[in-house]
């Protein structure tokens, strides 16, 4: 059975990168890893560091150099703070880490939580440290969901991870089951991703622990959409899937947790799809964490004139800048597109597409209370509008203006 959720939009076309293997990139000119306000350095500024060297701490989480080079400390770049390492052509990893020697069944929530913290594992749907999500999690969750859906129809990285890293994916799922106390893990993917689902089932063959959910080919998927599709449950205002006992993570997070614990190395890499009409070569990539967007562009042959990199989905149109963030899974090179704008025809398509069941057209009349409190800025309304009205832009502008008053 194909599961669905209210609202959302259907893609105009599917990705062309589903058959492209992940390409592993170890070298880049520099990495910029996000630092919080209280972040501190551990390595000496100006010192040479190896890939895997401890360079600092941010929010209680260790930060490691994802490339070998010269540590430049914490720097302000484009209104953000980053740990910066400039690659000087060196190579190697510090061999100071030991693989986890205990069996999964011997580990408890605290053990796995501490390993996730020490190894700096990130939950890549949100960009949050995994250990902070797992703190005191044991027994609080009834289900674990691995969200294998793509953020946009042009992305394919989750699909490739399911195929190329299926063993690690299921191993990570077992660790997360042990940590959360959940009784079952559900792998959720678009229904046409048969090869991915079959690959997972080779290792997730215990029906008591694992299940497969085939979802409709619609966007945007997020906690709310997954809860409605899988459990016919609507989250209340300010409520999360966690509040309902559902622990949702990306496949990359499960893979990173398993591989980091198995190898004893921190999470040093990120998996992404780079695609779109304005990039010379679309690719599925494994790149050093914090790689700059300039280096990504070079790896893919460059962005065409007028092209811009959009994070995760064309629907939201959020521009990427600086360095790859911990919650970016797809980078789409596209030109700025504008539709010819006409008057609203009250067709209601924006309301039908809204996954939160709002009335986006209300922004035209200045009625933004419900939009301000509940809009998730997914962009589905603007995408579907036949009149070319920039609904998302208007909602953001008017909500922000009211917030500043």
DSSP state letter for 366: T
Do the domain assignments include residue 49? no
pLDDT for the residue 90: 61
Spatial CA neighbour of 31 closest among 307, 268, 302, 351: 268
Question: Does the pLDDT value for residue 290 go beyond 70?
Answer: yes
Shared domain check, 154 and 254: yes
Of 247, 263, 279, which residue is a domain's last? Answer: 263
Question: How far apart are the C-alpha atoms of 377 and 363, rounded to whole Å?
Answer: 13
Tokens 């190896």, residue located: 50
Report the pLDDT value the prediction gives residue 403, as an integer from 0 to 100.
60
Is residue 119 located within the same domain as residue 225? yes
Q: What is the pTM of this model?
A: 0.92
Output the six-digit token pair for 350.
Answer: 């924006």
Query: Which residues in 25-67 belong to E strands, given as ranges?
Result: 30-34, 40-41, 48-49, 54-58, 61-64
- What's the pLDDT at 355? 87
- The answer to whether residue 306 scores a pLDDT higher than 90 is no
Using a 10 angstrom Cβ sphere, with 0-12 exposed, 13-18 middle and 19 or more buried, the burial of residue 321 is middle
354 shares a domain with 257: no
Residues 248 and 108 in one domain: yes
| Same domain as 380, residue 251 | no
Cα Rg of the chain (Å, integer): 21
Say which CATH number the domain at 232 has: 3.40.50.11540
- Give domain status of residue 182, yes or no: yes
**pLDDT: which is higher, 257 or 14:** 257
Q: Are residues 123 and 258 in the same domain?
A: yes
Residue 236 pLDDT level (bands cut at 50, 70, 90): confident
Q: Quick one: 357 and 257 in the same domain? A: no
> Residue 383: CB partners within 8 Å, gap ≥ 6?
9, 314, 315, 353
The answer to whether residue 68 scores a pLDDT higher than 80 is: yes
Q: Each residue of 80-139: pLDDT tens digit?
A: 899 999 987 665 555 567 888 888 889 999 999 999 999 999 999 999 999 999 997 877
pLDDT of residue 183: 94
Q: How many helices (H) and strands (E) does the chain have?
A: 12, 19
Where does the pLDDT of residue 404 fall: very low under 50, low under 70, confident under 90, or very high at 90 and above? low
Domain tally, the chain: 2
Q: 241 and 366, same structural domain?
A: no
What is the distance, to the nearest Å, from the Cα of residue 371 to the centroid of all Cα atoms in its chain? 25
273 and 15 in contact (C-beta within 8 Å)? yes
Read off the pLDDT band of 152 (50, 70, 90): confident
As a residue count, the chain comes to 405
Q: Is 149 inside any structural domain? A: yes
Structure-token match 């994802």, residue found: 66
CB atoms within 10 A of CB 305: 7
Mean local confidence (pLDDT), 139-147: 93
> What does the pLDDT average to over 241-262?
96
- CA 295, CA 300: separation in Å to the nearest integer? 9
Q: Are 104 and 174 in contact (CB under 8 A)?
A: yes
**Dihedral sign from CA coordinates of 249, 252, 256, 262:** positive
SS3 percent helix, strand, coil of the chain, rounded to 5, is: 30, 25, 45
Write down the pLDDT at residue 336: 77
Residue 402: the pLDDT is 64
pLDDT at 97: 77
Tokens of 403: 């917030």
Between 157-164 and 194-201, two packed helices, what is the crossing angle to 10 degrees?
30
- Does one domain contain both 259 and 374? no
- Is residue 70 within 8 A of residue 29, CB to CB? The reply is no
Name the least confident of 39-53, 192-206, 334-348. 334-348
Q: What does each C-alpha distance from 56 to 179, 208, 365, 376, 402 come to in angstroms?
A: 26, 42, 50, 33, 39
* CA angle centred on 165, ends 310 and 313, rounded to 5°: 15
Last residue of a domain, one of 236, 263, 290: 263
Measured in whole angstroms, the distance separating CA 7 from the mean position of its chain's CA atoms is: 22
Domain that holds residue 374: 349-404
Q: Does the pLDDT at position 405 exceed 60? A: no
Specify if 31 maps to a domain. Answer: no
Token output for 278: 């304005």
CA torsion 63-67-71-76 (nearest 10°) is: -70
Reading the block at residue 379, the tokens are 């962009």
Does 330 fall in a domain?
Answer: no
The pair of three-digit structure tokens given for residue 226, joined into one six-digit string: 């997954």
Q: What is the pLDDT of residue 376?
A: 86
**C-alpha–C-alpha distance, residues 147 and 125, integer Å:** 9
Percent of the chain past pLDDT 70, that is, above it, reads: 97
User: Angle formed by the axes of helices 157-164 and 251-263, to 10°?
Assistant: 40
Inside any domain, residue 150: yes
* Last residue within a domain, chosen from 244, 263, 282: 263
pLDDT above 70: residue 249: yes
Dig out the tokens for 266 from the structure: 């921190």
- Tell me, yes or no, whether 306 lies in a domain: no
Q: Are residues 112 and 248 in the same domain?
A: yes
Q: Provide the mean pLDDT of the chain.
A: 91
Q: What are phi and psi of 32, to 5 degrees?
A: -130, 105
The reply to whether 121 and 6 lie within a common domain is yes
| 56 occurs within a structural domain | no
Q: Looking at the structure, do residues 242 and 131 belong to the same domain, yes or no?
A: yes
Give the count of beta carbons closer than 10 Å to the beta carbon of residue 277.
12
pLDDT beyond 80 at 321: yes
């Amino acid at each position: 059975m194909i599961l669905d959720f209210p609202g959302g939009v259907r893609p105009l076309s599917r990705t062309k990168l589903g058959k492209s293997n992940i390409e592993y990139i170890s070298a880049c000119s520099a990495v910029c890893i996000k630092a919080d306000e209280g972040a501190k350095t551990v390595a000496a500024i100006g010192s040479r560091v190896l890939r895997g060297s401890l360079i600092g701490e941010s929010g209680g989480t260790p930060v490691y150099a994802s490339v070998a080079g010269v540590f430049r400390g914490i720097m302000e770049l484009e209104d953000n703070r980053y740990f910066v390492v400039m690659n000087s052509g060196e190579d190697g990893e510090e061999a100071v880490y030991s693989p986890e020697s205990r069996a999964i069944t011997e580990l408890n929530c605290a053990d796995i939580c501490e390993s996730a913290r020490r190894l700096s594992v990130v939950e890549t749907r949100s960009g949050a440290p995994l250990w902070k999500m797992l703190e005191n999690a044991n027994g609080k969750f009834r289900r674990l969901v691995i969200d294998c859906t793509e953020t946009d129809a042009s992305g394919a990285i989750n699909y490739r991870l399911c195929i190329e890293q299926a063993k690690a994916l299921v191993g990570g799922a077992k660790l997360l089951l042990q940590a959360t106390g959940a009784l079952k893990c559900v792998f959720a993917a678009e229904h046409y991703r048969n090869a991915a689902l079959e690959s997972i089932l080779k290792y997730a063959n215990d029906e008591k622990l694992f299940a497969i959910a085939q979802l409709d080919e619609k966007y945007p998927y997020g906690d709310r959409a997954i809860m409605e599709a899988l459990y016919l449950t609507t989250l209340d205002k300010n409520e999360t899937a966690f509040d309902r006992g559902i622990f949702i993570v990306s496949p990359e997070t499960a893979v990173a947790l398993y591989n980091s614990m198995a190898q004893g190395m921190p999470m040093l890499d990120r998996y992404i799809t780079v695609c779109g009409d304005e990039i010379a070569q679309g690719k599925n990539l494994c790149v050093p964490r914090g790689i700059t967007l300039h280096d990504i562009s070079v790896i893919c042959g460059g962005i065409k004139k007028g092209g811009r990199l959009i994070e995760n989905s064309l629907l939201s149109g959020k521009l990427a800048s600086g360095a790859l963030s911990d919650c970016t899974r797809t980078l789409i090179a596209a030109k700025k597109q504008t539709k010819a704008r006409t008057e609203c025809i009250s067709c209601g398509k924006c309301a039908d597409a809204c996954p939160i069941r709002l009335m986006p057209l209300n922004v035209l009349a200045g009625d933004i209370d419900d939009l301000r409190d509940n809009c998730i800025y997914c962009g589905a309304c603007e995408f579907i509008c036949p009149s070319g009205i920039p609904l998302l832009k208007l909602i953001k502008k008017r909500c922000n203006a009211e917030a500043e008053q």
